Amino acid sequence: DAGVTQSPTHLIKTRGQQVTLRCSPISGHKSVSWYQQVLGQGPQFIFQYYEKEERGRGNFPDRFSARQFPNYSSELNVNALLLGDSALYLCASSKTGVGRNTEAFFGQGTRLTVV
């Protein structure tokens, strides 16, 4: 039984570039959320998608965007990368969008380094 999978695991980009991170949720889960975890801090909410629709957005600039596909996998895009975007990007999978059965299970993350 596969858990949440993210790719790539590590990534190095230069300032100004664009990056796409990918997430496959647990089979049967329809909601995907993205979090940014800066070293030494707790994860910060970026987006939630449920049934391919955006259900929530955190306090991040418009350079951050995401989408969810019909198979419930998701991509997070970040444009015009800044040094401060360096972080661990975590994807969380939940069965539903809100209410019960919304326990969130995290993937191993993508470590993004911007140089």
Partner 1 sequence: GENVEQHPSTLSVQEGDSAVIKCTYSDSASNYFPWYKQELGKRPQLIIDIRSNVGEKKDQRIAVTLNKTAKHFSLHITETQPEDSAVYFCASRDGGATNKLIFGTGTLLAVQP
Return residues touching partner 1 (CB under 8 A).
4, 31, 33, 35, 40-45, 48, 55-56, 58, 90, 92, 94, 96-98, 102-109
Q: CA–CA separation, 92 vs 35, rounded Å? A: 8
Kindly tell me which of 73 and 102 has the beta carbon lying closer to partner 1.
102
CA 31 remoteness from chain centre? 11
> What's at 109, amino acid-wise?
G
Q: CA–CA separation, 66 vs 47, rounded Å? A: 7
User: At closest approach, how far in Å is the CB of 115 from partner 1?
Assistant: 20
Kindly tell me which of 20 and 101 has the beta carbon lying closer to partner 1.
101
> What's at 14, amino acid-wise?
T
User: At closest approach, how far in Å is the CB of 45 from partner 1?
Assistant: 5
